[in-house]
Homo-oligomer: A and B are copies of this chain.
Amino acid sequence: MAHLMPSGSNHRLGNLDEKSKAIIVELQHDGRKSYSAIGKSVGLSEAAVRQRVSRLIESGVMEIVAVTDPLSLGFARQAMVGVKVRGDISKVADRLHGYDEIDYLVVTAGSFDLLVEIVCESDRHLIEFVNQELRSIDAVVDTELFMYLSLEKQKYNWGTR
């Protein structure tokens, strides 16, 4: 995704006209909606819609994917961990990047240097992961765990309100 693109790339709101935004909104509700149906509702031919969608995807503005629910798939425990780092934050971030248990990782300014979201099958797995993989890192000075009790809201349609 574009989050990870070099910061020199400049795909901004200004590049997108009303039709592209309308296309995005339709696909945010149903990622498999046919191009011709979208074309009818936004006033473009099917080919034009397809071309725009390709460009939006290639430029990293959006992706069309299946988003799955961890609970339904047996991953019942989630937590956010605030991490305080000594030294190079990016180094720690890079090290954490590969873990399957981590599905969200942000460098922050504040009383934590990193926020790490963890998804696990069980409490046991979660605690083990935090102790053995996070807290055992030398550069990790401190961690604070926030167990998820209930996910109240989650949206993926940033930017188009």
Contacts and interface: CB of A to CB of B under 8 A. Distances in A.
Interface string A121-143: 00000000000000000000000
Interface of A: 1-4, 11-14, 16, 24, 27-32, 59-75, 78-80, 82, 93, 96-97, 100, 102-112, 115, 119, 144-161
| A contacts with B: majority SS | mixed
A82 B146 CA distance: 10
23 contacts: A1-B69, A3-B71, A12-B73, A16-B73, A30-B64, A31-B64, A65-B67, A66-B157, A67-B157, A68-B156, A70-B159, A72-B159, A73-B158, A73-B160, A74-B159, A80-B80, A104-B155, A106-B148, A106-B151, A107-B150, A107-B152, A108-B147, A112-B146
A64 to B, nearest CB: 4
Contacts of A146: 82, 106, 108-112, 115
Contacts of A13: 73-74
A37 to B, nearest CB: 13
Given A80-B108, A106-B80, A149-B109, A1 B67 contact: yes
